[in-house]
Structure 1
Amino acid sequence: MGSTPLFELKRVILCRADHPSLSELRETPEHWPQILKKHPTVSVSRFEERDFPSMDSGLLAESIQDSAMLRVYSIATALGVLKETDALAICGFTGAQYLIKLVPWLSCVQIPPSETDNPWLSLVWSQAIHDDPSAVWFRGLIKDWAKNISKDS
């Protein structure tokens, strides 16, 4: 197996632009765990038997004990929950940028890096195709894309 770390996944709190706690999150982002405790959270899962860790894994279990967490299987459902309730979501900065472009009523606040152990997006490939010219070209393409993404964030 080969792997290349591409870029750090920065975490953000995603909510609607008129959320009652958005200004508090922006003014005191270091208090995000206390703010999250006041609101339900929504998380998007997949229909896989082995669900990979989501952007909120490791954060919500430690910081949220009294508020409700809803796990849904559709981004459209999660957006509906965010729009109609005071729920918050934790997602990656890059994904949040795309969502905010598509859904103008959304807003996000970055979780301070000192508060979290941000995961890295990595490209993983099989040793069997390590030297295949098309695989080498594709890995180069992905690495260039990752450089552009990390410049933007």
Structure 2
Amino acid sequence: MSRILIRSMMIVSALAIAFSGYAQKSEPIPPDMMGTPGTIVGFVRDTACLLRNKDASVAKDEESRKCIIQCVRAGSPLAILTKSGELYMPLSSQLPDRDERRRLLPYAGKFVRATGRLFERGGTHAISIEKIEVVSGW
């Protein structure tokens, strides 16, 4: 086969794979997978430093704020850290799950109150956010 034909087939295949996610229809979530209604208050930040550095918490100084911003800009996942130290990962309210990072980006480095559906499994916490608002720190 010619190189042009092979490249064309590769491009078409890549585009088909890339856009296949957009064609998926959201399905209703079964009741046993809906979680528990609840509200959490916490600090939105990247997960990288929190998991690597046992002393990491909220951004208390300029160096910590810079670190959070750099990690967020580099694409680190975002989560909400509660005062008790629980880390809540964001879930979307639909299946298949959608990326919630864009929704949390405006809140990175801020204290928030998030209301929605809470989930827990094996010590991991998650929230499907229905409402989120900035609040003063703890």
TM-score normalised to structure 1 length = 0.24
Bigger fraction of residues in helix: 1
Bigger fraction of residues in strand: 2
Larger Rg: 2
Q: Identify the structure with bigger relative contact order (alpha carbons < 8 Å, sequence gap 6+).
A: 1
